[in-house]
Amino acid sequence: MRKKNQKTIGIYLLPAMLMVIVILYLPIFINLYESFFKWGAMSTKHTFVGIDNYVKMFQDEIFYVAIKNNLIFTVMSVVCQIGISLIIASVLESKFMRKSQNFFRTIYFIPSLLMVTVVGITCKMIVSPSIGVLNPMLERIGVDVSHIDLLGTASTATYTIAAMSQWQYIGYTVILFIVAIQNIPEDLYEAADIDGASAVKKFMYITLPEIKDTILINTIITVTGSIREYDEVFVTTNGGPGHATETLATYLYKVGFRNDQMGYASALAFFIFIVTFIIGLLQMKGYNLDEQN
Amino acid sequence: MKKRILALMLTAALTVSLAAGCGSGGDGGSKSDGDDITLTFLDKHPEEEYKGYFEDAIADFEEANPGVHIEYENISDQAIKEKLAVLASGGDLPDIFFAWGGECLNRFSRAGRLLDLTPYMDEDSEWRDSFLPSFLSSSVLDDKNYAVPYRSSVLYWLYNKKVFADNKLEVPTTWDEFVEVCDTLKAADMTPIAFGNSDQWYTMWYVGQFNANYVDQAVRMADYNPASGEFTDEGYLKSIQTLLDINDAGYFGDNVNSKDYYQVREEFAAGKYGLILDATSQFSFYTDAMGDDAYGYFKIPHPSDAAGDEVESIVTGGSENYAISAECENPDMAVKFLKFMTEKEQAMKQTTETGLPNAVIGGITEDNAGKMIADAYVTAEDYTAIAEWLDQCVDGNVANTYMASLQEGLDGKSAEDILKDVQAAAKEVAEANE
């Protein structure tokens, strides 16, 4: 009977497994295989080049610019979408804010419902030195704006896009944190109140440890999202000026579909996969640790 | 037992649907269902002022050819470049599709992805002879025709007549006069030239024209060929430097990397600038926005020190074409459709209804194109050579490197460093195409 059951389970699992193998694992291996060749979508030649594409990747200046930009996105996202949004969530959950919590929660959350294209184009128009509203406002308060072109200058463009991204998604993590904080038993806080703990102490010794799972998951979502960063950059600067705002994903896309260097693009794609895979492993490890605790 | 049979059936159903899902990607091309023929057509005219004409033309063709259906997909300019690359890599090209001339088309031709139209043109030489030769030539590779032009364009300087009159300016005919005009406008606190490069491609119009002025034809052709590109001629450096000098002199104004072409041409039409570099295919925009009397055009003066062998006789321009996939199952019908779209009557209708200049001999008249475009085409007869759009006539890697580095150039990078980037990209492309 047990054997029969196992067979049935196997048969039920087969379609899903096939689907995962064909749609997920197979492309990864095909991608790895293709990264050892020099080829283009439009050319008939398919030359084996060994690890040349990987060597080229590590010698490519733009690759490092992209990594640097991904790191900027990662750091800013973790600081804002984990750090700041955690503070906002706990402030909103505090007793004196409970009444107006709904209002603020909605205000913070609405941007994350907007399409990236809408946010990107709006941001582009706001910071545009010729038609935007930011520069005239800065000028009003006495700032010399003649050289302020946030998206058009290499040194400021990445930070501007990252800031826009934070504005959009901070509310989303705030909501997740609020839900987690609401699940903390109220008696813990009451006990702390009796002991005379301050708000900061309650946050440090009750809130933080109780929601560490949510923090972990949000961090992983935020970090992997930053590594795959594509759409915000594509809509606002498309990697420019020059390659100043290029991320791994935008660069991979350009290399593959504009420069038609599919082999090199495959190598870049495999690199992104490895990085996100390692973070994924850490995620699983994080879960295990929690279970052991 | 019943449960087991049910489970097996469910599994089989899921597996079959999975297999069906995997297989459905392969039928992007034409289909023949009994006597009915379906052709897929990918185009790049989604703008309100254009798309109606193309949809009507397709409907007319379908009406004249019962049983023929054309599945029309119409996407933006930038999107189509990438979509074609994606479709090409998936082996799933549409039956009929839009393509620029030069290398943009040659890479498809070289890879054997396009239907050779030469036999059809040999059979119907009238069709071949109906096109303006300089525009038909941009889709020829190894003496074979791979596409037909339906739209043509030539680059000119446009000027705002009121701005010129207010500043007592004459239309410049030499480079020095051109610089003088810019200086006068600048002194009058006006940005002389409408220019925005956040999309990166706009610099290519300038540099493509300057390359044609500075570099000899044979050298240029060798460098634009992906198999032999080196870009070592000093003309390329001078060409980039000329663009950077214009920028450094302040003729483009500030913050050029955060404005785009569409923004600045609106601003030009509103009288914010004196000059804009634009193509005849866009003249209809200015006519609509300003009226024919409010703007004028003049031939692009070449830099004083330019001494390429075609310096006096060449202008940047080019054709936009329709090609047929080599995998098209109904090539005869697809060719018939192209003939329909490019026959003189239809081509003239295209210009009348959309303002898009056609590429047919005698197809541009004052009646269908308006006085300004008709005049511009008469003026263009002074030119004997057309320099294809630079971003279309070189390999994608070289073009993208050119564009990205030039954008950095407008932000301070030197002409030497920009050219070094281009040379490195050209070298890489040449090695790949050996």
pLDDT digits (tens, 9 = 90+) for B99-151: 888 777 887 888 888 999 999 999 999 999 999 888 888 888 888 999 999 99
Chain A residues within 8 A of B410 when measuring between CB atoms: 241
Work out the average pLDDT over B85-91. 71
Closest partner residue to A15 (CB to CB) among B4, B15, B400 is B15
Whether B112 is covered by a domain: the verdict is: yes
Q: CA distances (Å), A196 to each of A94, A182, A201, A202, in order?
A: 16, 21, 10, 10
The percent of residues above 70 in pLDDT, for chain A, comes to: 95
* A259 close to B (CB below 8 A): yes
B282 and B428 assigned to the same domain: yes
Least confident of A82-91, A132-141, B96-105: B96-105
* A196 close to B (CB below 8 A): no
* A152 close to B (CB below 8 A): yes
Work out the average pLDDT over A141-159. 90
The percent of residues above 90 in pLDDT, for chain B, comes to: 59
* A212 close to B (CB below 8 A): no
* B168 close to A (CB below 8 A): no
Work out the average pLDDT over A202-229. 88
Residue-level pLDDT at B18: 37
Residue-level pLDDT at A6: 85
Chain B residues within 8 A of A149 when measuring between CB atoms: 254-255, 257-258
Q: Is the per-residue pLDDT at A148 higher than 50?
A: yes
Of B334, B349, B378, the position where a domain reaches its end is B378
Question: Which uninterrupted H or E stretch holds B109?
Answer: helix B103-110
Q: Is the per-residue pLDDT at B313 higher than 70?
A: yes
Whether B146 is covered by a domain: the verdict is: yes
Tell me how many residue pairs between chain A and chain B have CB atoms under 8 A apart.
Answer: 117
Q: Is the per-residue pLDDT at B14 higher than 50?
A: no
Residue-level pLDDT at B6: 47
Q: Which residues pair with B388 in a beta bridge?
A: B317
Residue B432: partners with Cβ closer than 8 Å, 6 or more residues away: A38, A40, A43, A261, B226
B139 and B159 assigned to the same domain: no
B331 and B210 assigned to the same domain: no
Please report, as a single letter, which amino acid is at residue B74.
N
C-beta atoms of B405 and A242 within 8 A:
yes
Closest partner residue to B82 (CB to CB) among A14, A258, A262 is A258
Of B337, B359, B378, the position where a domain reaches its end is B378
Query: How far apart (Å, rounded) are the C-alpha atoms in residues A174 and A172?
Result: 5
B124 and B60 assigned to the same domain: yes
Q: Is the per-residue pLDDT at B1 higher than 80?
A: no
Residue-level pLDDT at B371: 86
How confident is the model over A244-285, as pLDDT tens digits? 999 999 999 999 888 888 999 999 999 999 998 888 788 777
Residue-level pLDDT at A293: 46
Of B336, B360, B378, the position where a domain reaches its end is B378
Q: Is the per-residue pLDDT at A207 higher than 50?
A: yes
In A60-211, alpha helices (H) = 61-77, 85-93, 101-109, 116-127, 134-140, 154-182, 186-195, 199-202, 208-210
Least confident of A117-126, A127-136, B29-38, B335-344: B29-38
Q: Give whichever of A107-111, A217-221, B5-9 has the largest mean pLDDT.
A: A107-111
pTM of the entire predicted model = 0.83
Whether B50 is covered by a domain: the verdict is: yes
Whether B223 is covered by a domain: the verdict is: yes
Chain A nearest-CA distance from B338, in A, is 23
Q: State the pLDDT confidence band at B15, using cuts at 50, 70 and 90.
A: very low
Q: Is the per-residue pLDDT at B397 higher than 70?
A: yes
Average pLDDT, chain B: 87
* A26 close to B (CB below 8 A): no
C-beta atoms of A240 and B263 within 8 A:
no
Query: How far apart (Å, rounded) are the C-alpha atoms in residues B239 and A83?
Result: 51
Q: CA nearest A9 in B: which residue?
A: B7
Domain of residue B304 covers 154-316+387-432
Chain A nearest-CA distance from B297, in A, is 26
Q: CA nearest A47 in B: which residue?
A: B432
Chain A nearest-CA distance from B56, in A, is 31
B122 and B44 assigned to the same domain: yes
* B107 close to A (CB below 8 A): yes
- The domain that holds B114 is classified in CATH as 3.40.190.10
Residue-level pLDDT at B31: 54
Q: Is the per-residue pLDDT at B22 higher than 70?
A: no
Chain A nearest-CA distance from B200, in A, is 8
Of the candidates A82, A102, A121, which has an alpha carbon nearest to the alpha carbon of residue A216?
A82
Can you read off the two tokens belonging to residue B309? 């062998």
Work out the average pLDDT over A67-89. 94
* A11 close to B (CB below 8 A): yes
Work out the average pLDDT over B279-306. 92
B361 and B301 assigned to the same domain: no
B411 and B310 assigned to the same domain: yes
Q: State the pLDDT confidence band at B25, using cuts at 50, 70 and 90.
A: very low
C-beta atoms of B411 and A241 within 8 A:
yes
* B424 close to A (CB below 8 A): no
* B14 close to A (CB below 8 A): yes
Work out the average pLDDT over B186-205. 94
Chain B residues within 8 A of A243 when measuring between CB atoms: 404, 408
Chain A nearest-CA distance from B292, in A, is 27
B83 and B178 assigned to the same domain: no
C-beta atoms of B14 and A129 within 8 A:
no
Q: Give whichever of A32-41, B124-133, B237-246 has the largest mean pLDDT.
A: B237-246
In B124-174, alpha helices (H) = 125-129, 133-136, 161-166
Whether B7 is covered by a domain: the verdict is: no
B256 and B302 assigned to the same domain: yes
Whether B345 is covered by a domain: the verdict is: yes
C-beta atoms of B18 and A18 within 8 A:
yes
Q: State the pLDDT confidence band at A44, using cuts at 50, 70 and 90.
A: low
The residue ranking higher by pLDDT, B21 or B100, is B100
Whether B275 is covered by a domain: the verdict is: yes
Phi, psi (rounded to 5 degrees) for B100: -70, 170
Average pLDDT, chain A: 89
Q: Is the per-residue pLDDT at A42 higher than 80?
A: no
Q: CA nearest B398 in A: which residue?
A: A259
* A15 close to B (CB below 8 A): yes
Q: State the pLDDT confidence band at A230, using cuts at 50, 70 and 90.
A: very high
- Left (φ > 0), alpha (ψ -120 to 50) or beta: where does B301 sit? beta
B213 and B198 assigned to the same domain: yes
Chain B residues within 8 A of A19 when measuring between CB atoms: 18
Q: CA nearest B411 in A: which residue?
A: A153
B137 and B270 assigned to the same domain: no
Whether B246 is covered by a domain: the verdict is: yes
* B407 close to A (CB below 8 A): yes
Chain B nearest-CA distance from A74, in A, is 25
Domain count within chain B: 2
Of the candidates B225, B236, B204, B228, which has an alpha carbon nearest to the alpha carbon of residue B395?
B225
Residue-level pLDDT at A290: 52
Closest partner residue to B88 (CB to CB) among A11, A41, A124 is A41
Residue-level pLDDT at A97: 82
Is the torsion defined by CA of B95, B98, B100, B101 positive or negative?
Answer: positive
The residue ranking higher by pLDDT, A285 or B185, is B185
B335 and B307 assigned to the same domain: no
Please report, as a single letter, which amino acid is at residue B404.
A
Q: State the pLDDT confidence band at B4, using cuts at 50, 70 and 90.
A: low
